[in-house]
Amino acid sequence: MAVKTIDELCNVLLDKRAKAAAGGGEKAVAKHKAKGSLTARERIDLLMDEGSFVELDEFVEHRCTNFGMENKKYLGDGVVTGYGTVGGRIVYVFSQDFTVLGGSLGQMHAAKICKVMDLALRNGCPIVGINDSGGARIQEAVDALDGYGGIFYRNTISSGIIPQMSVIVGPTAGGAVYSPALTDYIFMVDKISIMHITGPAVIKTVTGEEISSEELGGAKTHNSRSGNAHFFAASEQECFQQVRDVLSYLPSNNMGDAPRVATSDPVSRAEMALRTMVPTDSNKGYDVHSVIKAVVDDGKFVEVQAMWAKNIVIGYASFDGLPVGIVANQASVMAGCLDIDCSDKASRFIRHCDAFNLPIVTFVDVPGYLPGKAQEWGGIIRHGAKMLYAYSEATVPLITVVMRKAYGGAYIGMCSKALGADSVLAWPQSQIAVMGAAGAANIIFRKEIEAAKDPQAERAELISEYEDAFATPYQAASRGYVDKVILPEETRYEVIQALKAHRTKRQALPRKKHGVMPN
Ligand code: HXC
C-alpha cells in the first residue's frame, strides 16, 4: 500500500470535519431552518465569545445495530460538545442537533454530554445544555435510558458546585425534561420550545383533554403557569443573550466570587424619589421594580421568573460593582402576600445565591401569608417553611431593608434578624408588628370598642393609638431587631456600606450530611 502524503492525510481529516459540521445533511438542515430554528452550531456561536468555541468528540458515532441503525451513522452522533468562553471565562456546552436522528439521545450521544459535564465539574466551570431533541433514541432502547440516568446523576452531583443552565430550543419530552429541571435555570423561546412529560396525544387518550403542544408545554406556559421555566425570550438571539447576562453575575464555581460589574454609579447617590415611591398609606400599591432600579447600580436588574408568582420579585443586580441577589415583596400583586408559589420561587433563589456566594438584599413590604382554603390545603405550611429554611441556612451576607409593612410570620420569613440577617435597615414608614393596626385593634380592644358610645370613633382612636405605639420601626429598633432606621434616599449608600462590612463574613454551620428541607 502506497504511503500517503501529509496533504492526503490532512485532507482526510478536513473531509471528516466537513462531514461532522454538516450534521444531518442539507435536506434535514433546510427542514429544520424552515421551522425558524437555528442549527446546533449557530446556537453555540450565539452563546460563546466570538471564535472561542473548541469542539470535542466530533467523530463519535453510535454503535447501535438495531432496526438498520448500522446504516444511519452521523459523525458527532447528534450533539455538538466542547468549551469556549462567555465574558472571557471558560464555559462548557452541549448542543443537540435535531437534524441528526431528531437530536435523539442514544448511548454515545449521552456519553459525549457526560464527558463535558465531568470536565465542567472537575474544572469548576459553568455548563450550558442546549436541548432540541426527540428524547430517548427509540432504537437504542435501555442504553438510551441509561444515558439519561447518567446525565441526571451528574446534574445532581454538580448542583451548587457549578452553575448549570438549560436552554430549551425545540422539543423536550418524557423523562428528558428532568435534566433541565435539575439545573439552576431553564430558558425558553416563544413558539420554539416545548417541554412536557406526556404529550397532547397521550393526554387525549388517558384523560380525554384536548390541548395543543404549545399550550401544554410552550415557553409562555412554563414561564407564567407552571413555574418550571425561569426566562422567556421572543427569539433565540434574545435567549442566548439572557444566558450570557445571567452567567455574568455568577462565579465559575462555588469556591469563587462572581466578577465585579463595571459601574460608575456614585456610591452615595441619594434618590429623593424613593420618599414618595412607596406610599405611606399601607393600603396603596406600587411597583417594587422602581425601588430596586432606583437603588442598584445604573438601574440594571436582571429578573428571574418575571412572569410567575409575581407577588415576589427575584433577580440579580449589583451595588458598587458587587453582584447580589435581590428578593423583594411586590405590593402591587396580592398586596405582596407570601403564598405557595412565591415561597417556592424565593426559597430556591435564596439557596442558589447562597450556593454561589452572592450576598442577598431583601426588600420587605409584606402583610402576611395569603389566607384561604386553597392555600391551606395546598400546603402553605410546608411551602412557606422553605423561606425560613433557606434564609436560616444561608451563610452569605444578608441585608434586609424594611420599606413598609413587616407583619407576623411573614416579617420573620422575609429575613428578619433572628433568621440571620447581618444588617436590618428600616425606613421611617416601616410598620414592624404582629399584624396591621386595624386587625390588632379589633382583637385586643374588642371589649372597649363594643362598650363605647360611638364604637366607630372609639375604634379609629384605638387604631391610631396602636399605630403610634407599635406600627413603627422604633420598637424593633429599640430592641436591636433593626440595626438602623434610615431615610429612603440613604438606602443605596447604606446597603453598600453593609455589603462592604459583611464581605469578609465567614459562617460555618454545624457539620451534617445535609438537612431535610420542607418540600
Ligand atoms: C429516534 C427519532 C426520535 C426518537 C425523532 N426521531 N424522535 N428517532 N428516536 N426519540 C427522528 C424521526 O424518526 C425523524 O427521522 C427525525 O428524527 C425527525 O423527526 P420528525 O418526526 O420528522 O420531526 P417533527 O415532525 O419535527 O417531530 C418532532 C417530534 C417527533 C415531536 C420530537 O419526532 C416525536 O414525537 N418524536 C418521538 C418523541 C418521543 O416519544 N420520544 C421518546 C420520549 S420518551 P427521519 O429519518 O424520518 O428524518 C423519552 C424517555 C426519556 O424520551 C426517559 C428519560 C428517563
Strands (E) located in 408-515: 423-426, 431-433, 484-485
What is the rounded distance in angstroms from the CA atom of residue 169 to the CA atom of residue 232?
Answer: 11
Strands (E) located in 367-440: 398-407, 423-426, 431-433
What is the rounded distance in angstroms from the CA atom of residue 354 to the CA atom of residue 436?
Answer: 32
- Can you tell me the mean pLDDT for 142-151? 97
- Percentage of residues in the chain having pLDDT higher than 90: 91
CA R_g for the chain: 27
With 90 as the cut, is the pLDDT of residue 297 above it? Answer: yes
Q: What is the pLDDT of residue 437?
A: 82
Q: What is the pLDDT of residue 130?
A: 98
Give the CA distances from residue 295 to residues 279, 427, 485, in Å, rounded to whole numbers and listed in that order: 17, 14, 17
Give the CA distances from residue 356 to residues 124, 263, 379, in Å, rounded to whole numbers and listed in that order: 12, 22, 29
pLDDT tens-digit readout, 398-455:
999 999 999 999 999 999 999 999 999 999 999 999 888 888 888 888 888 888 899 8
What is the rounded distance in angstroms from the CA atom of residue 291 to the CA atom of residue 404?
Answer: 12
By alpha-carbon position, which residue is closest to atom 54 of ligand 1? 175
Q: What is the pLDDT of residue 442?
A: 85
Ligand 1 in reach of 135 Cβ (< 6 A):
yes
Nearest to 346 by CA among 381, 388, 287, 397: 388
**Mean confidence (pLDDT) of the chain:** 96
Lowest-pLDDT range of 118-132, 209-223, 467-481: 467-481
- Can you tell me the mean pLDDT for 258-282? 96
Q: What is the pLDDT of residue 394?
A: 98
By alpha-carbon position, which residue is closest to atom 15 of ligand 1? 101
Residue with cell 458515532: 61
User: C-alpha cell of 131?
Assistant: 436541548
Give the CA distances from residue 123 to residues 154, 155, 365, in Å, rounded to whole numbers and listed in that order: 14, 15, 42
Ligand 1 in reach of 136 Cβ (< 6 A):
yes
By alpha-carbon position, which residue is closest to atom 53 of ligand 1? 175
Q: What is the pLDDT of residue 388?
A: 98
Q: What is the pLDDT of residue 422?
A: 98
User: C-alpha cell of 143?
Assistant: 442504553
Structural contact between residues 108 and 62, judged by C-beta atoms closer than 8 angstroms: yes
pLDDT tens-digit readout, 9-65:
999 999 999 999 999 999 999 999 999 999 999 999 999 999 999 999 999 999 999
Ligand 1 centroid distance, CA of 513 (Å): 41
Nearest to 86 by CA among 41, 126, 48: 48
Ligand 1 centroid distance, CA of 104 (Å): 6
Ligand 1 centroid distance, CA of 486 (Å): 59
Helix (H, G, I), strand (E, B) or coil at 39: coil
- Can you tell me the mean pLDDT for 210-215? 96
Residue 254 half-sphere exposure toward CB, CA atoms < 13 A: 16
- Can you tell me the mean pLDDT for 317-346? 98
pLDDT tens-digit readout, 462-502:
888 888 888 899 999 999 999 999 999 999 999 999 999 99
Q: Which atom of ligand 1 is nearest to the CA of 103?
A: 17
With 90 as the cut, is the pLDDT of residue 380 above it? Answer: yes
Q: What is the pLDDT of residue 176?
A: 87
Ligand 1 in reach of 383 Cβ (< 6 A):
no
- Crossing angle of the two packed helices 340-355 and 380-393, in degrees rounded to 10: 20
In this structure, the number of other CB atoms found within 10 A of the CB of residue 49 comes to 15
Ligand 1 centroid distance, CA of 136 (Å): 8
Ligand 1 in reach of 174 Cβ (< 6 A):
yes
- Percentage of residues in the chain having pLDDT higher than 70: 100
Nearest to 246 by CA among 350, 327, 126, 342: 126
Is-catalytic flag, 227? no
Q: What is the pLDDT of residue 467?
A: 84
pLDDT tens-digit readout, 491-511:
999 999 999 999 999 999 999
Q: What is the pLDDT of residue 435?
A: 84
**pTM score of the predicted model:** 0.96
What is the rounded distance in angstroms from the CA atom of residue 418 to the CA atom of residue 34?
Answer: 57
Burial of residue 114 (CB within 10 Å: 0-12, 13-18, 19+) is: middle
Q: What is the pLDDT of residue 468?
A: 85
Beta bridge partners of 95: 80, 130
With 90 as the cut, is the pLDDT of residue 186 above it? Answer: yes
pLDDT tens-digit readout, 94-113:
999 999 999 999 999 999 99
Is-catalytic flag, 409? yes
What is the rounded distance in angstroms from the CA atom of residue 169 to the CA atom of residue 177?
Answer: 12
Q: What is the pLDDT of residue 441?
A: 83
Predicted confidence band of residue 378 (pLDDT cuts 50, 70, 90) = very high
Helix (H, G, I), strand (E, B) or coil at 462: helix
Helix (H, G, I), strand (E, B) or coil at 130: strand
Structural contact between residues 216 and 199, judged by C-beta atoms closer than 8 angstroms: yes
